[in-house]
Amino acid sequence: MKPSLILVNPWIYDFAAYDLWSKPFGLLLLAGFLREYGFRIHLIDCLDVYHSSMTGHLSEPQPVRRLFGTGKFRRQKTSRPASLKHVPRPYSRYGIAKDVFLNELASIKDPAAILVTSLMTYWYPGVQKVISLAKEVHPGVPIILGGIYARLCKEHALQFSGADHVAAESGLNAMTSALPALRKFGIERPERAQDDDILPYPAFDLLSKIEYVCLLTSTGCPYKCRYCASPFLSPRFMRRDPALVLEEILHWHRSYGVRDFAFYDDALLVGSDDHIVILLENLVDMDLNLRFHTPNALHVREITPEVARLLRLSGFRTIRLGLETSDMDLHQNLDKKVSAGEFEKAIDNLKRAGFTGGELGAYILAGLPGQSVASVINTMEFVDRTGAVPYLAEYSPIPHTPMWKKAIDHSEYDLSSDPIYHNNTLFPCWDQAQRERVPDLKKRVREIRHNRH
């Protein structure tokens, strides 16, 4: 009999969480990869909004779902960790009920190993909890931890996660490293995949319901933004053949009726003429009436009139731009990806292509070490004047980024000892006077957004 593997997407423990095209992409890609090698895969998604066993939990109504497949997660209020007791906000566990998770674990007999993923560094309490419960239900079964937290905070994960093995490889190596990690525990692959050069599609078919599919047409990013961990997590900028991306879109649309797709690329439009433009031209010709979204933001300077036209005609409906700040001096120290006049030109190109102000959003970083509240306000008003909608992106200090040391120097929290303090809700690199202004910033953003819609 083929070995069974349990793959787990943990709960989120946080002050707030929202499904903005949020899926455990790496875990689903790993599921497809291991399934191709002949393993029997059991996916437990603790964030599953549509889990069949949750229908009996009348105290937890179905979360509100919104346009294009986004919406709220289920949640249950829980006590804050001791290190966050000072924060006067409710703390919750987002996802399915504990008993539902335990029952699903117990229903899978004799797993060879349990593989757990991780996302935000400060979400590690959810990782710890699922690993602890998994050891109770399946004692002696090896547990392997991977994902972003495992890579960015390997020493912390080794010491505190409870996993038997922590996989901290970067890029696509994180995928192929699963096989030697399993072999470490005497688990051999049942069979060899037919084509080692082409990864199988992420296993979205293992989810309870496919509301949307996430796409990755490239890994890495040629920009070296000081606040971003992409160069560490994916050191090489690599792009897939546009024809293969189109095949993947057609697979999910024709076989599963999927209409909404979210691009997870960090640099979707870079080198567009021989990459994304080819894909968009094919989509325009096929006229499939699909909808595309860019939650990870597009680079402003890459939006030419032709790119904007193709984005509109091919079905893009949610455009998010990576502005970060309108202070060009600050940009020189942050990322050098936007120069004076480029944002306004990009917005003009998008509007001329047919996008409305409500469809155009710009991420604005708030909480950067050394950043003033006034700088954030000025950027918000700048975005409003262009006719776009500002979206606050609270800065989270990230290990292995060029800004990490500066973040440590500006924070009253011990960022290096406990990832829980990386939580962007804390605004950990601003002082108390600045944090007291945050409600005003959020209020102003809501006002602009309301007026724009």
337-348 per-residue burial string, b: 16 or more CB within 10 A, e: under 16: bbeeebbbebbe
In this structure, the chain runs to a length of 453
pLDDT of residue 339: 86
Nearest alpha carbon to residue 30 among 63, 7, 51, 2: 7
The answer to whether 369 and 406 have CB atoms below 8 angstroms apart is yes
Q: What is the pLDDT of residue 65?
A: 87
The topology under which CATH files domain 212-452 is: TIM Barrel (3.20.20)
- Percent of the chain topping pLDDT 90: 85
Q: pLDDT of 104-139, one tens digit each?
A: 999 999 999 999 999 999 999 999 999 999 999 999
| Residue-wise pLDDT tens digits, 336-360 | 788 889 999 999 999 999 999 889 9
**Alpha helices per DSSP H over 335-413:** 342-352, 373-386, 404-410
pLDDT at 194: 57
- Confidence label for 148 from pLDDT (cuts 50, 70 and 90): very high
Beta strands in 300-371 (DSSP E): 316-324, 360-366
Q: Residue 192: its pLDDT value, please? A: 61
pLDDT computed for residue 239 by the predictor:
94
- pTM over 0.85, yes/no: yes
Average pLDDT estimate for 137-162: 97
pLDDT higher than 80, residue 173: no
Q: Reduced to 3 states, what is the DSSP secondary structure of residue 143?
A: strand
Taking each helix axis from N to C end, the angle separating 438-452 and 373-386, rounded to the nearest 10 degrees, works out to 0
pLDDT band at 156 (very low <50, low <70, confident <90, very high): very high
Question: Which residue is it, tokens 């605004």?
Answer: 427
Asked whether the domain spanning 212-452 has the same topology as the one spanning 4-184, the reply is no
Q: Which residues pair with 218 in a beta bridge?
A: 239
Q: How is domain 4-184 classified at the CATH fold level?
A: Rossmann fold (3.40.50)
* Token pair recorded at residue 392: 């606050």
Instruction: Kindly list the domain boundaries of the chain, sorted by start residue.
Output: 4-184, 212-452
